[in-house]
Amino acid sequence: MEIRKNVAPEFVLGAGALDLVGRYASNFAAKKVLVVSDPGVVAAGWAEMVIASLRGANIPSVLCVGVSPNPRDDEIMAGADMFLAEGCDVIVAVGGGSPMDAAKGIGIVATSGQSILSFEGVDQVWVPGPPLICIPTTAGTAADVSQFAIVNDSARKVKIAIISKAMVPDAALIDPRTTTTMDAELTAATGIDALVHAIEAYVSTASSPVTDLHALKAVQLIPANLAAAIQNPNDMNHRDPMMLGSLFAGLAFSNASLGLVHAMAHSLGGLLDLPHGMCNALLLEYVVAFNYMGAPERFAQLAAAFGVPPEVGADAQKAALIGALCNLRKAVGLGHGLRKMGVRQEDIPLLAQHAFHDPCVATNPVQPSVGDIELIYERALDEPR
Ligand SMILES: [Fe+2]
Q: What is the mean pLDDT of each run of 10 residues along the chain (385 residues)?
A: 93 98 98 97 98 98 93 97 98 97 98 97 95 97 96 95 96 98 96 98 97 98 98 98 98 97 97 95 97 98 96 96 96 93 97 97 98 98 76
Q: Tell how far the Cα of 277 is from the centroid of ligand 1, in angstroms.
A: 6
Q: Tell how far the Cα of 296 is from the centroid of ligand 1, in angstroms.
A: 23
Q: Tell how far the Cα of 197 is from the centroid of ligand 1, in angstroms.
A: 6
Q: What is the pLDDT of residues 41-76, one digit of tens each?
A: 999 999 999 999 999 999 999 999 988 889 999 999
Residue 1 lies in a domain: no
Range of the domain at 316: 182-380
Q: Tell how far the Cα of 346 is from the centroid of ligand 1, in angstroms.
A: 25
Q: Tell how far the Cα of 334 is from the centroid of ligand 1, in angstroms.
A: 16
Q: Tell how far the Cα of 280 is from the centroid of ligand 1, in angstroms.
A: 7
Picking from 147, 179, 211, the residue at the C-terminal end of a domain is: 179
Residue 5 lies in a domain: no
CA distances to 216, 240, 246, 287 from 237, rounded to whole Å, are 20, 6, 15, 31
Residue 2 lies in a domain: no
- In angstroms, rounded to a whole number, what is the distance separating the alpha carbons of residues 147 and 226? 25
State the amino acid at position 274 in one-letter form: L
Q: Tell how far the Cα of 145 is from the centroid of ligand 1, in angstroms.
A: 13
Same domain, 162 and 244: no
Sign of CA dihedral 165, 194, 301, 290: negative
Q: Tell how far the Cα of 71 is from the centroid of ligand 1, in angstroms.
A: 14
Residue 99 lies in a domain: yes
Could you give the dihedral angle defined by the CA atoms of residues 151, 215, 288 and 292, in that order, rounded to the nearest 10 degrees?
130
Same domain, 363 and 242: yes
Asked if 250 and 196 touch (Cβ cutoff 8 Å), the reply is: no
Strands 132-136 and 171-174: parallel
Instruction: Give the residue from 128, 135, 139 showing the smallest Cα distance to 105.
Output: 128
Q: What is the pLDDT of residues 85-117, one digit of tens each?
A: 999 999 999 999 999 999 999 999 999 999 999
Same domain, 83 and 196: no
Number of folded domains that form the chain = 2
Residue 173 lies in a domain: yes
Same domain, 230 and 135: no
